[in-house]
C-alpha cells in the first residue's frame, strides 16, 4: 500500500513539472488570424436564384405536341463577402462552362475551358447585385461546341450550365472560385423538359336537347331546350367539377373524371346514379345520352349536344364505358 502511494506522488509531481516546463520553455503558436491571411482566403460570393428557381423549364403539351418554354430567363442574386473594402475590388467576372447530355463534356476527356458571361465593374456598397441570365445567351456561348441536333430547340433536356466567379483586387491579385471544389464555389442551372397534360374537358358549354324521353315534358324539357353548364378542373390532371350533370333536369352538380391517355370519361353522381354515354365527338361538340334511376319508370332521359364556347376541339378518343341502350 505504501509503495502504491509513493508511485502516485511521483506521477502527480511528474505531471506538474511537465506542465510547468511547457509553460515556461515552450511557446504555443496560435493559427494565423483571418486578417493576416491573403485577402482571397477571406473572400467568397454567395449565389441564389430568385424564387429558388434553378432550372430552365420547357413544357410539351401532350395534346398538341407543342413544346414551349415555361421559364427561359432566370434571375441570379450575388453577394460578395470579403475582408477587403469593396472599393478595393475592381471587378467580378462570371464564367460559365457547359455540359450536354450524351454530348459535349458529358464524358472524358472533359473540356474545362470557361467562357466569360459578364463582368461587373461597379461593385455596390453592400456587395449585392443581381443579373438576368437568359437561356439563349448561354446557348450562344457554346453553340459551336454542342454536338447534339438543336435545330428544333437551342436548349435540350439535361443541359447543365455551371457558373464560377473571379474576383479581382485593384492590385491585380485574384480570387478564382473555379480553383476551389468545395460546396458554394459554383452555381449550376439545368435545362428540364416536362410533359403537360392539359385540362381537356374544362370550359363553359352550351347544350341543346336533340332527343328527350317521354317523361321529360313533365320536367319542362323538350327537343330544342338549351342551357349552359361549367366543367372546371379541380384536381389535375383529370378530375373536374360539373355544374349540372342532368342538364337542367335536377341541377345536380358532381364529378367527372377523364383519363388523358385512354380518353375514358366517367361521371360520378351518386344521388340519382346519373350516367353519361358519349355518342359522338366532332370538333368542339360532344353528343351525350344521359339516364338515371328514373329512366325506366318515368321515361326521364335525354340526348344533348354540348359545345364548348371557346371553340377548342376535343381529342377524338373520348369515350364512356356505358353505351346507349338499344
Residue 36 has pLDDT above 90, yes or no: no
- The two counts, helices (H) then strands (E), for the chain are 3, 19
pLDDT band at 291 (very low <50, low <70, confident <90, very high): very high
Q: Which of 236, 230, 220 lies closest to 253 in space, CA to CA?
A: 230
Span of 202-216, 244-258, 295-309 with lowest mean pLDDT: 244-258
If you average pLDDT over residues 277-289, what whole number do you get? Answer: 97
Q: For 102, left (φ over 0), alpha (ψ -120 to 50), or beta?
A: left
Could you tell me the three cell numbers for 172?
A: 491585380
- Note the pLDDT of residue 251: 67
Residue 24 has pLDDT above 50, yes or no: no
Mean pLDDT for the chain overall: 88
- Note the pLDDT of residue 37: 60
If you average pLDDT over residues 164-185, what whole number do you get? Answer: 93
- Full DSSP string of 84-101: S-GGGEEEEEEEEEEE-T
Q: Is the pTM of this model over 0.85?
A: no
If you average pLDDT over residues 39-54, what whole number do you get? Answer: 93
Within 8 A by CB and 6+ apart from 245, the residues are 252, 253, 254, 256, 267, 269, 274, 276, 290
- Full DSSP string of 239-253: EEEES-TTTTSS---
- Note the pLDDT of residue 14: 41
The whole-angstrom distance between residue 66's C-alpha and the CA centroid of its chain comes to 18
- Note the pLDDT of residue 254: 87
Q: Which of 278, 288, 291, 281 lies closest to 249 in space, CA to CA?
A: 291
Structural domains in the chain, sorted by start: 35-196 (2.60.40.1940), 203-320 (2.40.128)
pLDDT above 90 covers a percentage of the chain that reads 76
pLDDT band at 100 (very low <50, low <70, confident <90, very high): very high
Residue 25 has pLDDT above 50, yes or no: no
Amino acid at each position: 500500500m505504501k509503495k502504491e502511494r509513493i508511485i502516485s506522488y511521483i506521477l502527480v509531481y511528474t505531471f506538474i513539472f511537465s506542465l510547468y516546463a511547457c509553460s515556461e520553455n515552450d511557446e504555443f503558436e496560435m493559427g494565423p488570424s483571418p486578417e493576416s491571411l491573403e485577402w482571397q482566403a477571406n473572400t467568397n460570393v454567395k449565389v441564389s436564384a430568385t424564387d429558388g428557381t434553378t432550372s430552365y423549364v420547357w413544357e410539351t403539351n401532350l395534346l398538341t405536341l407543342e413544346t414551349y418554354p415555361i421559364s427561359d430567363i432566370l434571375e441570379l442574386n450575388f453577394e460578395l463577402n470579403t475582408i477587403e473594402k469593396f472599393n478595393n475590388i475592381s471587378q467580378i467576372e462570371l464564367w460559365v462552362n457547359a455540359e450536354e447530355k450524351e454530348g459535349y463534356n458529358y464524358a472524358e476527356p472533359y473540356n474545362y475551358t470557361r467562357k466569360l458571361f459578364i463582368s461587373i465593374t461597379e461593385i455596390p456598397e453592400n456587395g449585392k447585385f443581381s443579373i438576368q441570365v437568359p437561356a439563349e445567351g448561354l446557348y450562344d456561348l457554346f453553340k459551336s461546341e454542342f454536338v447534339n441536333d438543336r435545330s428544333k430547340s437551342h436548349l435540350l433536356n439535361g443541359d447543365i450550365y455551371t457558373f464560377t466567379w473571379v474576383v479581382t483586387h485593384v492590385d491585380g491579385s485574384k480570387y478564382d472560385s473555379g480553383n476551389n471544389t468545395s460546396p458554394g464555389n459554383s452555381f449550376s442551372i439545368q435545362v428540364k423538359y416536362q410533359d403537360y397534360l392539359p385540362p381537356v374537358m374544362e370550359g363553359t358549354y352550351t347544350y341543346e336537347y336533340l332527343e328527350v324521353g317521354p317523361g321529360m315534358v313533365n320536367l319542362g324539357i323538350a327537343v330544342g331546350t338549351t342551357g349552359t353548364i361549367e366543367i372546371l378542373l379541380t384536381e389535375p390532371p383529370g378530375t373536374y367539377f360539373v355544374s349540372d350533370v342532368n342538364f337542367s333536369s335536377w341541377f345536380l352538380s358532381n364529378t367527372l373524371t377523364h383519363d388523358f391517355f385512354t380518353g375514358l370519361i366517367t361521371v360520378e353522381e351518386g344521388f340519382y346514379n346519373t350516367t353519361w354515354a358519349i355518342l359522338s365527338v366532332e370538333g368542339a361538340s360532344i353528343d351525350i345520352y344521359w339516364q338515371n334511376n328514373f329512366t325506366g319508370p318515368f321515361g326521364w332521359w335525354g340526348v344533348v349536344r354540348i359545345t364548348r364556347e371557346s371553340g377548342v376541339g376535343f381529342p377524338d378518343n373520348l369515350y364512356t364505358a356505358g353505351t346507349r341502350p338499344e
